[in-house]
A and B are shown apart, each in its own frame.
Chain A
Amino acid sequence: MISYVAGRLLQSVPVLVLASMAVFSVLRLIPGDPADIIAGEDASPAEVEALREQLGLSDPIPVQYVKWIGDLARGDLGVSLRTGVPVTELLELSLPPTLELAAASYAIALLLGIPLGTIAGVKPRSIWDWALSLFTIATLGVPTFLLGVLLLWVFAVNLGWFPASGRVSFLHDPIDSMRYLALPAFALGTGLAAVLARYTRTTVQAAMGQDYIRTARAKGLKSHQVIIRHALRNSLIPIVTIVALQLGNIMAGAVVIERVFTRPGLGRLVVDAILNRDYIIVQSTLIILVFLFVTVNLAADVAYGLLDPRVRRS
């Protein structure tokens, strides 16, 4: 198991290095001189020069990259070009609401997708199977932000069951926090729920025809025990894969959904930074997200090893 984990760890190094180079190049790929653009049109040559020094843009590119990686390793993400506030402080404020939203969306996706997929897989061609097809088609046609606007319209504006905007910290008041989270998390989680349900349905249906299921039934296990302990177990690997792979989509979706429900978070931080040309914020947020993404995929690989001994040995 240890050598398996070490091997996977080693494999993610080149991906991290290449991805960090890609993020690093964001600031350097801006057409023209970044210092000129960041300083604005009415900056004096001396101000531009000072900014170039501050950003380290006069060093050779490889030196800049190594310095940047060194800063990152020490937890220094730079400062906002507009306000001078350290990016770490901005992220401390913006990351928790977004992670909260992502976690709630995953919870809704799992609670909705796995039961629906399991029932549809155990009873193909039943009303549940048909409902799953309809649900899938609906999620393909309605993008996240449109579903968000629809939910906002019906449940917040018209019925007034949920607040239309804002956020309460989960640690501060869990119950109230969930009222604020319900609609955005539902908007973000349903698409993922449909994907999870389809995979669960396929694996459960395939497992139901296997000999070991017949054996389990012959042993006299109750129907729900057979399904949950034996059939559903086979779905765990695709489910873990999807949960890990979809993290990027969930985080990107959160950026958009936060806008729909006027929630504070990474979305507001990044979009405002793009509009204000505050490149350092965008760069640092991207590298944090890439790091998160690579780590979660690594964790998923390790989870396969735990779930399925065959993966460890191959």
Chain B
Amino acid sequence: MSAAYPELTYASRRERLVRESMFWGSLDRLLRNPQGFVGLLVLGLLIGSAIFAPLLTWHDPNVQDASGRFLSPRWEHPFGTDELRRDLYARTLYGLRVSLALSLTSVSVGATLGIMFGFFSGYVGGWIDAVMMRLIDALLAFPGLLSALAIVTILGPSIRNVAIAIAFFSVPSFARLSRAQMLGERNKDYVASAEALGAGALRIVFRHIAPNAIAPLLTQVALFMASAVIVSASLSFLGLGERAPDPSLGGLINTAKSNLQKAWWYPTFPGLALALLLLSLNLLADAINDAINPFARRRA
């Protein structure tokens, strides 16, 4: 008797991967989505120029070596110069570097802690879960920027402390979301079968549940990176971030504010860099969401 089910055949190894692997399938959908493609491309370019900033610039961002103050954009200084004869192109690129490094590290730390917290709370359940979630509720009563202000008050204004503040305020949201994911997966059959086979709690959570629960958290990571960029830029704008003379996008826009009549290029280029960074992160968040849930409708 012949097989009841025909063997699945694929045209190429690539197609097999895209059809059968959740990761490659999602990546394929992400790149086919114009939003995802543009978001990833712009973000890639920004990350590239931040990493290779020393190779892409020919002036030191902190050295006052231009031939004049407030020079308009020209070949030697593509973004013009500032009030202290410094190259704004170099300062913008190095400022971008700070924004990216800061949001990347702080959100990864905050997300990891939050996910651990949420997974633990959701897996254990009972009164421990109840107590942990009330704690999260209380933390969520503080909006991001305000808790960042409180933490900067405790630790003193500096770039490292801004990063700690952002990591801290991303914990409760990730904890909430990952706990909800954990509750959704906790009682499924594959978890019961892993338990029956004698797998330990850590193995069940990280090898079995996590791969199924992690997808929606990725969208959250992209969204929180955007809000980390906003909060860090706002704190720098208030003068609570990096110390002079180091540049940051928020700090550059703050000084530009006092020189609006003298130099149109001063707020324009750092502002554009900030807007592009935020737009690409938001486009990417939307596209990740669509790629992971191909059947779900777009965000309202």
A positions within 8 Å CB-CB of B: 14-15, 18-19, 21-23, 26, 29-31, 137, 140-146, 149-150, 152-153, 157, 198-199, 201-202, 248-249, 251-253, 255-256, 259-260, 270-271, 273-275, 279, 282, 286, 289-290, 293-294
Give 15 A-B pairs besides A141-B276, A149-B256, A157-B260 with Cβ atoms closer than 8 angstroms: A15-B134, A21-B138, A22-B142, A137-B282, A146-B275, A152-B257, A198-B300, A252-B143, A252-B145, A256-B145, A256-B234, A259-B237, A282-B150, A286-B146, A293-B141
Does the CB pair B143–A251 fall under 8 Å? yes
Out of B142, B149, B274, name the residue touching A146 (CB < 8 Å): B274
In the complex, 23 of the A-B residue pairs with CB atoms within 8 angstroms, ordered by the A residue number, are: A18-B135, A18-B138, A21-B138, A22-B139, A31-B155, A141-B275, A143-B230, A146-B233, A146-B271, A150-B267, A150-B271, A157-B260, A251-B143, A252-B146, A252-B149, A255-B145, A256-B145, A273-B153, A274-B149, A274-B152, A275-B239, A279-B153, A293-B141
**Number of contacts between A and B (CB, 8 Å)?**
123
Does the CB pair B134–A18 fall under 8 Å? yes
Query: Contacts A15-B137, A142-B275 given: A290-B142 contact, CB under 8 Å?
Result: yes
The closest CB in chain B to the CB of A252 belongs to: B145
A252, A279, A286 pick with most chain B CB within 10 angstroms? A252
* Closest Cβ–Cβ distance, residue B132 to chain A (whole Å): 12
Out of B139, B239, B267, name the residue touching A271 (CB < 8 Å): B239
Q: Does B209 contact A (CB under 8 A)?
A: no
Does the CB pair B239–A251 fall under 8 Å? no
Residues 71-120 of B at the A interface (beta carbon under 8 Å): none
Q: Does B240 contact A (CB under 8 A)?
A: yes
A146, A249, A286 pick with most chain B CB within 10 angstroms? A146
Q: Does B261 contact A (CB under 8 A)?
A: yes
- Over the window 240-283 of chain B, the binary record of Cβ atoms lying under 8 Å from chain A Cβ atoms (1 yes, 0 no) is 10000000001001001100110000010001001110110010
What are the 9 A-B residue pairs with the smallest beta carbon separation, nearest first? A248-B143, A18-B138, A252-B145, A141-B279, A202-B300, A141-B275, A140-B282, A143-B230, A19-B141
Could you say which interface size class chain B belongs to? 35 or more
Does the CB pair A137–B149 fall under 8 Å? no
- Over the window 135-170 of chain B, the binary record of Cβ atoms lying under 8 Å from chain A Cβ atoms (1 yes, 0 no) is 101110111111001101111010000000000000
In whole angstroms, how far apart are the Cα atoms of A294 and B137 in the complex? 11
The closest CB in chain B to the CB of A245 belongs to: B143
A259: B residues at CB distance < 8 A: 237-238
Does the CB pair A19–B260 fall under 8 Å? no
B237: A residues at CB distance < 8 A: 145, 256, 259
* Closest Cβ–Cβ distance, residue B98 to chain A (whole Å): 16
B139: A residues at CB distance < 8 A: 22
A18: B residues at CB distance < 8 A: 134-135, 137-138
- Over the window 118-137 of chain B, the binary record of Cβ atoms lying under 8 Å from chain A Cβ atoms (1 yes, 0 no) is 00000000000000001101
A274: B residues at CB distance < 8 A: 149, 152-153, 157, 240
Does the CB pair A15–B141 fall under 8 Å? yes
A279: B residues at CB distance < 8 A: 153
